[in-house]
Each structure stands twice: as structure tokens, then as C-alpha cells.
Amino acid sequence: MRMMSGVWFANFVVFYLVAVGGSSPARKKVIIEGYVSCVYCVMEGGPGSVIKTDLLPGAVVKLQCNNRKKGSWEEQTETGGDGEFSFKPVKVTSWGAHKCNIFLVSSPRAVCPVIIYGEGVLFKPAAINATSPFQLYTVRPLAFYPPPYTCV
């Protein structure tokens, strides 16, 4: 099977959208939401252990975006009383959101300092609302754990 060139495919998509009366998706501002927790193990009377989590207020979370033309930039926020965070970046739209990652920076608890997913995590679009001026994105749960991590 012959591979389609990128230019040919792009022209085909534009032609198709014009022919059926559609258009490309609107560029929207973004809101990124998630929460941070502390994951730890508790030994319960019998064999094995139970993994427990506590939401973590006061944790610092970073949004980092890398753009070839505009350069990279970052923004930080602190989780609220319920461990949730929210970013409403001015420089990011739904077209460029794929160039951004969320990172954990620091934990407010000395007993829970080790970062899970230290390489950063991507976020994904949540429900799409055509009438909203924003596109909502969510992040999988971010977590810290105590050293050494000894759940067995």
C-alpha cells in the first residue's frame, strides 16, 4: 500500500471540510485540573499491607510547555485544601496543549517527599462543550510517597 504524503493528506482534509460545510475545531483557551495525594502503606494485622492515600493540600505543581517558536515557559501553583489544583494559562490554547506537561515540584509533608511520575504527565481533554470558551483538560492523579517505598 502506498503511503500518502502529508501535503496531499492535508489538502484532502481541507477539501473535505469545505465540501461538507465543516471547519476545523475552534481554538480555545484551556483549563487544566487535577489533584495530588500522598500514597503510603499501612500494615494491617495479617499478611500483606494496605495502600492508603491522603489528598495533599499545599503541594507545588508545575505546568511546563515547550514551543519551538515561542520558547519554553512554566507556571506553578499550589494545591488547595482538598488537594486539587487548576491552571488557566494565558499562553496556551487547545491547539498547543499537546506541547505541555504537568510536574510535581514539592510536597508539604516531610514524610511523603518522593515524586511518582517524575518525568511529568500529559493531560487529556475532558468532556467537550461547544458553547464554552474553554477546553477542560484533566490529569491522572499525581502522588508523592514516603521513602523507602516498602509495600509488599
CA dihedral 84, 102, 74, 56 (to 10 degrees): 30
Q: Where in the chain are the domains?
A: 27-145
Beta bridge partners of 60: 78, 106
Give CA separation, 14 vs 6, 42, 57, 98, in Å: 12, 57, 47, 22
For residues 14 and 43, which has the higher predicted lDDT (pLDDT)? Answer: 43
DSSP helix/strand/coil, 8: helix
Q: What pLDDT was estimated at residue 2?
A: 47
37-76 pLDDT, tens digit each: 998 876 666 566 677 888 999 999 999 988 777 788 899 9
Q: Domain 27-145 belongs to what topology? A: Immunoglobulin-like (2.60.40)
89-123 pLDDT, tens digit each: 888 878 888 888 999 999 999 888 888 877 788 88
Q: Is the pTM of this model over 0.75?
A: no
Give CA separation, 83 vs 17, 77, 139, 145, in Å: 43, 12, 13, 15
Mean pLDDT taken over the chain: 78
